[in-house]
Structure 1
Amino acid sequence: MTVDPHHPSRSAPVTIAEADERHAVLAFAGDLDAPALGVLEELLLDPRLRRPGAWTLDMGDLTHIDLACAYALLRAVTRAPEPAALTVRGARPAVHRTLRHAGLDTVATFVA
C-alpha cells in the first residue's frame, strides 16, 4: 500500500496532527516497520516540520516500531543546526525500549 504523507488515510502509521511556527505534533498508530520506513522518511522532510522548535511524538496508539524507523526519527530531530526539543508521549514499554536503543533518550523527554 502506498500512503501519501501529505494526505494520509486513516491507515497511515504516522501523520502530522498539527504544525505551526513553534510546535509540531506527529501522531503514530499501529506498526511502524520496514514497509512504512519510506512513508516516515518522506513525512519527516515535510516543510511544516522545519520551522517548529519543538516536536511532540504522540505514540499512544503505536504498537510496534522497528529500529530503522527509530533511527530515522533520531536523524530527523538532530539534523538541524539547532535540533528541535523533542517530547515522546504515551510510548508503550516495547516502543520506548526500541527508541532508547536508537538513542532517542539522549535527545527526548519521555512522558506518559
Structure 2
Amino acid sequence: MATEPSPTPAPRRLPVALMIEGKVATLVFSGALEARMLRPLEEQLADPRLRHARRWELETSELARIDLACAYALLRAATTLPEPAELHIRGARRAVQRTLHAAGLDAVATLEE
C-alpha cells in the first residue's frame, strides 16, 4: 500500500510590516519569525527602498520569538547596504534579545528598551 506524501505546510503570513518615510525605514515585527519564513523575510529585506534608507527602525515589542536564521538574515541585510544605515531595535523581549545577540546584531545596532 503506497502512502501519499503529506503536503508541505504553507508558510504563515510574514509578521513584518514595512513603512518608508523619507530616509527612515520602519519594520514592525509581531508574532514569531520562524525558519520557514526565512525566504519571504529575505525577499522583503531585499526591497529596493530599504537600500536607500539611512536609518532602520525595528519595532520588536510584539515579536515573541525570532529564529536564529531570521536574525542572521536581518544582519546580512543591514550590513550589505552600499552605505551603512543606522540600525535601531526597539522593545525587544529578553528571548528576542538573546537571539539577536547570538547573531551579532547587537554589534551593529542600538538596542533600545
TM over 0.5: same fold?
Answer: yes
Larger Cα-atom Rg: 2
In 1, Cα distance between equivalents of 2:47 and 2:11: 17
Residue 82 of structure 1 aligns to a residue whose secondary structure is coil
**Over aligned residue pairs, what C-alpha RMSD do you find?**
1.3
What TM-score do the two structures reach when normalised by structure 1?
0.87
Correspondence list, 1:1-112, <5 A? 1=10, 11-16=13-18, 18-112=19-113
What is the identity percentage for the equivalent residue pairs of Structure 1 and Structure 2?
53
Residue 50 of structure 1 aligns to a residue whose secondary structure is helix
In 2, Cα distance between equivalents of 1:60 and 1:90: 4
In 1, Cα distance between equivalents of 2:70 and 2:15: 11
AA aligned opposite 1:61 = E
Kindly state the Cα deviation for residue 82 of structure 1 after the two structures are TM-superposed.
Answer: 1.9
Query: Do the aligned residues in 1 keep the contact of 2:11 with 2:37 (CA within 8 Å)?
Result: no
Residue 63 of structure 1 aligns to a residue whose secondary structure is strand
**Moved beyond 2 Å, runs of 4+:** none
Q: Which runs of 5+ in 2 are unaligned?
A: 1-9
Query: Do the aligned residues in 2 keep the contact of 1:13 with 1:36 (CA within 8 Å)?
Result: no
Query: Do the aligned residues in 2 keep the contact of 1:20 with 1:51 (CA within 8 Å)?
Result: no
Aligned residues: 104
Kindly state the Cα deviation for residue 30 of structure 1 after the two structures are TM-superposed.
Answer: 0.6
> 1:3-59 deviations in whole A, cap 9, x for unaligned?
7xxxxxxx531120x203310000101110111111110000111211110000000
What TM-score do the two structures reach when normalised by structure 2?
0.86
In 1, Cα distance between equivalents of 2:78 and 2:37: 18
In 2, Cα distance between equivalents of 1:2 and 1:96: 24
Query: Do the aligned residues in 1 keep the contact of 2:51 with 2:82 (CA within 8 Å)?
Result: no
